Chain A
Amino acid sequence: MGIFKKFFDKLKYTFKKTELNDDFYDELESILISSDMGVETAIEIMDDLRLICKQKLIKDTEHAQIELKQILINRLNANEIEFNYPLIITVVGVNGVGKTTSIAKMTKYFLNKKKSVILAAGDTFRAAATEQLSNWADRLKVKIIKQGEGADSAAVVFDAITSMKAKNNDVLIVDTAGRLHTKTNLMKELEKINNIINREYPEAKKLNLIVLDASIGQNSIVQVKAFKDSVNIDGIILTKLDGTAKGGVVYPIINDLNVPIIFTGFGEGVDDLDLFNKESFVDKILM
């Protein structure tokens, strides 16, 4: 509530009068737009707020803000995720969003839960991507299956599944090449990886997680759509929330594309990952 209080104070200062006038709504709308929520969603939410304030006969800004916070929370995904094992997580996303770091963090998350983890260096495209993940694997003391740069990523995944089955590992996390979602070949490669996983380990639980960078704007929507066209996307890892970026773009993604946030990342350390928390996410948007 501390952060939210700051928001109250800011608004109180701006709006000495407590009536709900257009200036008040405009200011709220600009806060929402500044979170990268997109103008359409922001307008929708403001319409919701006006309606609720009217229905509940709310006349002061303080109560209106509590309602706004509730609207924002309600629009986020409802279900808590439950992980079932053996679990194969394939991590996708465009270049530079923080896929590899997120994989390291998830590894730590599952290790903390006393699960055994194995990694597959499926990004055979970017220079030194395999080295980067191997580096993390060394630090976290987990096994990594890799081949050289330019190798067939599906073959790496195949090897990883074989090893996972032999060692009875609980979790396999597959790194994939970052790709601009407009590159068809690389998207085809993803489909191939998915097919291999389904074929080789049908009984394992599979999750395809997309990594989104909180500082990216409306393009994140396009990214999720494009990946969804190729493979099923089960959830979002929203990274880089330790900066001033708020990642409001997940609102249209959750609403229109029905993809929930699973994890949030907030730093470069392996422990800087949390399961998604609606309340603190909304607090930051309103900060």
Chain B
Amino acid sequence: MKGPMMRALSGAAALSLAVAAAPLIAQAPQGPTDADLMNDAASTGDVLTYGMGPQAHRFSTLKAIDTSNVSKLVPAFAASLGGEKQRGQEAQPIVYDGTIYVTGSYSRVFAFDARTGEEKWQYDARLPDGIMPCCDVVNRGAAIYGDKIIFATLDARLVALNRNTGKVIWNKQIADYKEGYSATAAPLIVKGMVITGNSGGEFGVVGAVEARDVNTGELIWHRPVIEGHMGTLKGKDNGITGKLNATWTGDLWKSGGGATWLGGTYDPETNLLFFGTGNPAPWNSHLRPGDNLYTASTLAIDPDTGVIKWHFQTTPHDGWDFDGVNEFIPFDATINGKPMKLGAKADRNGYFFVLDRTNGKFISANKFVMQTTWANGFNKAGKPNYIPEGRPPAPGEGKGKPVFASPSFLGGKNWMPMAYSQDTGLFYIPSNDWGMDIWNEPIAYKKGAAYLGAGFTIKSIAEDHIGALRAMDPKTGKIMWEYKNKAPLWGGVLTTGGNLVFTGTPEGYLKAFDAKTGQELWKFQTGSGVVGSPVTWEQDGEQYVAVMSGWGGAVPLWGGEVAKSFKDINQGGALWVFKLPK
């Protein structure tokens, strides 16, 4: 509105205009609504949520591209993220109304024209130089709602941008980066609330799940995930998490860890949020006897109140850094002749869990990696059969003698999301077969002072591969097929109605497999490692596939002998979009 006209309006006139305009805005929504987000799995013309639906199946019913023609897939365009900031690109694209929204390393957001790849706008968060991100400067994706694109930054802020202009609508601190907090996950939007976890590798961080008003960023509820901490709802106390000192000694619960750094999923059928929690602190398990609830767990949370409805701990009393953050994916299946509402999680600890998602009851846990040295299966009660020799010793004991542990601390599966096909009934798990030697490091220093640290080195456990994409039957726990990859797999998975499974490799390929047999049908070299999550949608009558390329993430930071498998991979930063030739 032009200045002179604005000045001409009297106060009363302006007010009446505003009242008249309000219903108009409501009738003409400026973008995706709550209902649209909940319907994302069924709507094939867009990708509105991280996971391609709140349940994060990463399954599309589209079948124009199928096993018979995927070998002809070609690039439609590529779009560079530019600059010198080429580090790990772990984002999943969001696609809406002719625009592809991606987040990039160093907390950047890009809007590209979905037909031409031309950049519409770019937003670069200004980051303070005192941030210490533990595992590269990645971001895993944005959320869309109405006129907003919302994403989290490395300095632990949530930023809402106008999706047409890239201009800031609101920008809220969600935690203090000076206390070691950070944020890299894609936000989840449920019932007009942005639901986020938190991240931070630093000691003293306590995991939490929070809900904020999507229009203002104002906090609605806060739920710490470590027992003893008070939750809040609308500014008022809302009950303590768990029971104080039930599974923690002394005041260690105050700094118990459990960061919820990977975000969560939502199941509209049971109205439950599912968030995974990180490993406990301190690292040395001998200093914190007990189960250390609710670390290394999956929590079911009521989105309306932030109250924990049930929990299941995948690694009680963790001593290997097996944090339990992995996505819990709701699905339905018939077990022993009984139709059940279930959920599945492929854990860092190497086991694939199936639970009753209505109450958290244990159904099964099956190994999805080559080797687990820490436990030999789970008993009927859902507790691990520990192997005592597999637990790293307390500092000062067994000095210098390494313990071999598998999976390594980077996990049988790390952050990269698996997919579930409603057609085949199989889960497709991006997994890694690797172990670690871990030992006490007597000459260690922290902030210039003597410290008792652990040293370790990651090791291969197979001659021919580290990465393995595996098809798991959740009803039997059997691996139906596997694809082995030389370098560790670090990207997400997509499955489609065309009987296809897509995933990327650090070697730079986006690959397509037959969802039933695992046969490799197509690959394309993107120029840098692929550690993002692919998506698919329909546009102008054609099916498109898109993925981010750009090597990085935690793997190259830790190296060890595993580094040989990726030493020749170069950094990059680009969005690649594919379709069938006309």
Partners in one complex: no
